[in-house]
Amino acid sequence: MEHDGAKMLIAEIEAGSPEDDFYDAKVSVLSEEIKHHVREEEKRGDGMFAQAKKSGIDLAALGARLLERKKALLEEFTAEGLRPPMTRTVTGPAPKKGPLPTFGGR
């Protein structure tokens, strides 16, 4: 699952409640997909973190910049709440809570 798919699934989970059909399944899928994504990024040799180390970038400075950005985003979230997901590859209307379609009488 790429980032856009995760954003859409998170939006569906946030719009729902634990009593909804498939709520637990959506949470489980999101959890497994995120774990898989992290494993891919942490791969030795060709994962994102290995590539960053090879690049010679100042990781301590990058970490400091990321921490500052995180603080700014948390302040924004606290003041305004979460924005709706903005995706780059998924287009169309925002996810809506509602019944899932049935196929072939299932």
Domain boundaries defined on the chain: 3-80
Confidence (pTM) = 0.56
Which letter does DSSP use for residue 45 in this model? T
CA 74 from chain centre, in angstroms, equals 16
Query: Looking at residue 71, what is its pLDDT?
Result: 93
CB 67, CB 74: distance < 8 Å: no
Measured CA distances, 33 to 24, 71, 102 (Å): 14, 26, 25
CB 12, CB 26: distance < 8 Å: yes
Nearest to 52, CA basis, from 42, 67, 40: 42
Rounded to an integer, the average pLDDT of 20-44 is 91
Q: How confident is the model at residue 25 (pLDDT cuts 50, 70, 90)?
A: very high
Rounded to an integer, the average pLDDT of 9-17 is 89
Tens-place pLDDT, residues 54-96: 898 898 999 999 999 999 998 988 888 777 777 777 665 565 5
- Most distant pair of Cα atoms in the chain: their distance: 58
